[in-house]
Amino acid sequence: LAKTTQPISMDSYEGQEVNITCSHNNIATNDYITWYQQFPSQGPRFIIQGYKTKVTNEVASLFIPADRKSSTLSLPRVSLSDTAVYYCLVVLSASKIIFGSGTRLSIRP
C-alpha cells in the first residue's frame, strides 16, 4: 500500500482558505486518493475522494496533478468547527485502508 506524507500540524484563522498537501510518491495506477476528517471522540468521516485533476463537493476540493504523486485538500473559508485531524490515504477500491499520521488543523478566531 502506498505511503503518504503530510504535515503534522497547521494553523489558520476563520474565513481563510486552508490547503493541506499530501505526497504519495509510490501511488499505484489503481489507487484512489481519499481524505478523512476526525473530530475528538468521534470516528473518522469521509470528506472527498478523487483519481485525477479536480474534485469538488459541498465540503472541500481535491486537486490532483497529472503525475498523481501529490494531492491538495482545499477547505474554503474555514470556521472554528473545522478544527480536526485530516488524514490523506491512497486506497484501492473495495479494500482495507491504512491511516497515516494525519494533519492536526487548528483554526483560530
Partner 1 sequence: SAVISQKPSRDICQRGTSLTIQCQVDSQVTMMFWYRQQPGQSLTLIATANQGSEATYESGFVIDKFPISRPNLTFSTLTVSNMSPEDSSIYLCSVEHGGMGLNEQYFGPGTRLTVT
Residues that bind partner 1 (CB under 8 A): 32, 34, 36, 41-46, 49, 87, 91-102
Question: Residue 52 or 77: which CB sits closer to partner 1?
Answer: 52
CB of 37 to partner 1, least distance (A): 11
- In the numeric block, which cell numbers belong to residue 51? 483519481
**Nearest by Cα to 1 from 22, 24, 34, 35:** 24
Edge-first strand order for the sheet with 70-75 is: 18-23, 70-75, 61-64, 53-56
Question: Residue 8 or 66: which CB sits closer to partner 1?
Answer: 8
Letter string b/e over residues 78-102, b meaning 16 or more CB atoms within 10 A of that residue's CB = beeebbbbbbbbbbeeeeeeeeeeb
CB of 63 to partner 1, least distance (A): 17
CB of 4 to partner 1, least distance (A): 11
Question: Residue 59 or 91: which CB sits closer to partner 1?
Answer: 91
CA dist., res. 95 & res. 25, Å (int): 20
CB of 15 to partner 1, least distance (A): 28
Question: Residue 34 or 70: which CB sits closer to partner 1?
Answer: 34
